[in-house]
Structure 1
Amino acid sequence: MHKLLNFCFLALYLSQGNAAPAGTPSSVASSPNASPTDPYASDDPNGRLWAPDAHIIPEAIRGPYGASILGPQNIPIALEEADLFAPPTTDHGNVYDNFYLTIHDMSIAKQMAGVDMRLEAGAIRIPEIFGIFLQLTDWLAHVPKEVLAKNFQTDIAAFNHIPSQELYIFPSVPPADDQQPPVSPYGQPPEPYTYEFSKVPATQLQGGTVKIADSTTFKVAKTLAVAEITIEPGAIRELHWHPTQDEWAFIMYVTTIITRIPLITISSFSEGQARMTLFAAQSNARTWDYEVRGMHELGSSDN
């Protein structure tokens, strides 16, 4: 006990001896002002833009982002899915939804993916690399600039203004009406990679019309064919079989079905309802009812 008291006294004496003299102000080091390493998160509200029972025509627009939809809409679905139709700005990344359809959303779709997009006047969709990754900007943002400079044998300053993250669709200035396209020093490819399908004349049939583009007219489309089929009310599309290729259908119009028969087919309806029966052999059959923006895929050997 005596040793413990001596120790306590010594500690008290040392603390008093090291204390600053009375009346002498002590120096206090202040921390630097806080500064963000990235822009602060926005304070803009991200609430639901409309209620399911709202009497409006929803638009896929939130603040400065998005654009109006050109074409048919399934308004009841859009009213129910406000945060899918006009998502909060905090939504990001690959959480799959029913506007971006891949094998994750439609497991039978192993040969084609689909995306519903709209570009405003002057907007640019980034050039794509078709591989495991998606966007050129995403790739270059993760390559050191000195590597880019060495790869392209140019000065590193040439990459001072590349985006720091992926860009998918971004605004730009619309080109002038008389602006000529750039001329490649290597000349033009032997066959064009664009095709004015809207100018193809439709063939009138008993129950509607059909327009077709395939490798005989669109030379570079070696694995993809397109048929725009107009089915009049009460008419049907002919019974048919898929012996080697799949068919993917996107519903836009009850009176119009757009079909892409490749690899895959897309059909579209914009109002009303339609129905389709799939026969999958060995006594397997199922009938579906469709409304606007519905989608289906028929695999090879399905009817």
Structure 2
Amino acid sequence: MKLSHSSASLFLFVAPAWALPAPQSGASGVVDPPGPSGASGSLRGPESLLGNNPSIPIPTEPSTVIPPDQFELAPGQTEDEQLGLYINLTEVKNPQPIRGGSTGPTDPGPRTEAYDRLNSDLFIPPGTDEGDVSNAKWPFGLSHNRHGLAGAGWARQQNIDQLPIATAMAGVNMRLSPNAYRELHWHKAGEWALMLNGSVRIAAINEEGQSFVDDVTAGDVWFFPAGVPHSIQAFENGCEFLLVFDDGAFSEDETFLVSELFERNPESVVAKNFRTSLWIFPGTPAPANIEEQNVTGPAGTLPKQESYSYHLSQQEPYRVPGGTLKVIDPATFPIAKTFSAALITVEPGAMREIHWHTTSDEWTYFLQGSARLTVYQAPASSRTFDFTAGDVGYVPVPNAHYLENTGSEPLVFLEVLQASTYSDISVNQWLGLTPKQITKDHLNVDDQFLDTLPKTKPFIVPGNPNMTTTNFTGNPL
């Protein structure tokens, strides 16, 4: 469609129809009450404005099409939509939902342009997206941020209220100020945690009366089974951590607190000085020597094999072309019987290969960089989502998906499964271990393609950091 400059001028200077005064004709069948002093006009319109009235003139309206000189196209927008290149809208003027050409359906608004820029694969979906797939993304930045006492910290959560598809797991992002406590508490759900920054001292006791205390720092993990009481105290520099619970309906607001335990029982039974709910509150500095807080009862301390923490920060990553992985599951962290996770780094242009999980949904948290993910859902639906640091992603079992680094810095994210072993099905490996004749007959590919298929799981595949082009081989152009 060719757009004229006259339509552009009309678009700029004529008020939209909803802002124009309604034509006044005929008598009104509605009597309005007297208005306030100084008011003019009628609060309601006349009955003559009801539909099917040929006497109401059709207004002359401006074009709603955005002229080409009023927007810019990002690299890749004119490429074939089936190619589905990543569209970076960060720098372009007035981004428009065009893919596969220089013109197309434009968006005159109203709209939230910042959301369009952050979610270009929803705003300008690849041509391969099809059907209906439930929302798989929630940014913690849209969660209510609940503050503790006297500036001691905050917490914000994601559960099925925010992301209804996430039925198996929920997340909490929590901050503790220097020396602050997460009050002595327990949960109905199991709590798996990753330290994001800073250090804390954690303490707990189990049903046998065995005690546990440990210091964990950025990159380390802890797990407390459901019902096990524990506390968390930040050291002098403060901290932030991520909590994952094995129940999508979990709410941080329903935590069992020691202060509430005492307050909600008769005063004659408990000491009156526990009559304040604390939640997150300031504290005095923890002693540097952990032994000073290692209180041991007759049952002794928790056996090492049942430890509630694991120093993942000290684990050497598994390196593959295009990135690294750190896997933690009950094989190395036995107490977390149903939690398996991988901390993954993907270099620019590379991607976590197409895969799916056989026994668990995947809950993903993005720590650094930007990425996109396409969820394929049987029989014929798919949708592509974009993520940045602080977002949560969720893919139900056994939907296939990938995670592609769309930025210029390393992408770092956490994959969490409710599984006794961290595992997945690699499409690369699957086809590489399938008899060549079968793969040829299904996909109509040649021997050269078949020879590239690995027999071991690559996890990550390298690629061209230039996201606006591809040569289909994974080799830089």
TM range (shorter): 0.5 to 0.7
Q: How large is the RMSD of aligned CA atoms in angstroms?
A: 2.9
| Structure 2 counterpart of 1:177, from 288, 291, 295 | 288
Matched to 1:144, the amino acid is: P
| CA–CA distance in structure 2, aligned partners of residues 224 and 297 of structure 1 | 15
Matched to 1:108, the amino acid is: I
Q: CA deviation at 1:228?
A: 0.8
Q: Say which is worse superposed, 216-225 or 184-193, in terms of deviation.
A: 184-193
* Match in the other structure for 1:44: none
* Match in the other structure for 1:247: 362
User: Do 2:143 and 2:156's aligned partners in 1 also have CA atoms closer than 8 Å?
Assistant: no
Q: CA deviation at 1:172?
A: 0.5
Matched to 1:182, the amino acid is: N
1:146-166: CA deviation from partner (whole Å, max 9, x where unpaired) = 3xx3xxxxxx5xx1311333x
- Shift in CA distance, 226/278, structure 1 to aligned 2, threshold 3 Å: same
| CA–CA distance in structure 2, aligned partners of residues 120 and 87 of structure 1 | 11
Report 1:78-227 matches (<5 A).
99-131=156-188, 133-136=254-257, 137-146=259-268, 149=269, 156=270, 159-165=271-277, 167-180=278-291, 181-185=293-297, 186-190=299-303, 191-227=306-342
Matched to 1:196, the amino acid is: H
| CA–CA distance in structure 1, aligned partners of residues 315 and 285 of structure 2 | 27
| CA–CA distance in structure 2, aligned partners of residues 177 and 223 of structure 1 | 33
1:162-191: CA deviation from partner (whole Å, max 9, x where unpaired) = 1333x2211101112124232321212232
- Shift in CA distance, 107/144, structure 1 to aligned 2, threshold 3 Å: same
Q: CA deviation at 1:252?
A: 2.3
Q: Which has the larger radius of gyration?
A: 1
Q: CA deviation at 1:248?
A: 0.9
Q: CA deviation at 1:283?
A: 0.5
Matched to 1:114, the amino acid is: G
Matched to 2:340, the amino acid is: A
> Structure 1 residue 279 and structure 2 residue 376: aligned?
yes
- Counting matched residue pairs gives 188
> Structure 1 residue 234 and structure 2 residue 346: aligned?
no
Q: Which has the higher contact order (CA 8 A, sep 6+)?
A: 2
Identity rate, percent: 31
| CA–CA distance in structure 2, aligned partners of residues 233 and 139 of structure 1 | 50
* Match in the other structure for 1:299: 396
User: Do 1:207 and 1:231's aligned partners in 2 also have CA atoms closer than 8 Å?
Assistant: yes
Consecutive unaligned residues in structure 2, runs of 5 or more: 1-116, 119-140, 150-154, 189-249, 401-477
| CA–CA distance in structure 2, aligned partners of residues 224 and 234 of structure 1 | 30
| CA–CA distance in structure 2, aligned partners of residues 82 and 280 of structure 1 | 26
Q: CA deviation at 1:253?
A: 1.4
TM-score (norm 1): 0.56
1:265-291: CA deviation from partner (whole Å, max 9, x where unpaired) = xxxxxxxx3111001110111111122
Matched to 2:392, the amino acid is: M
- Shift in CA distance, 86/125, structure 1 to aligned 2, threshold 3 Å: closer
- Shift in CA distance, 229/125, structure 1 to aligned 2, threshold 3 Å: same
| CA–CA distance in structure 2, aligned partners of residues 126 and 227 of structure 1 | 29
Consecutive unaligned residues in structure 1, runs of 5 or more: 1-75, 90-97, 150-155, 255-272
| CA–CA distance in structure 2, aligned partners of residues 204 and 82 of structure 1 | 34
Q: CA deviation at 1:205?
A: 0.7
| CA–CA distance in structure 2, aligned partners of residues 118 and 172 of structure 1 | 14
Q: CA deviation at 1:195?
A: 0.9
1:52-93: CA deviation from partner (whole Å, max 9, x where unpaired) = xxxxxxxxxxxxxxxxxxxxxxxx99xxx899569799xxxx
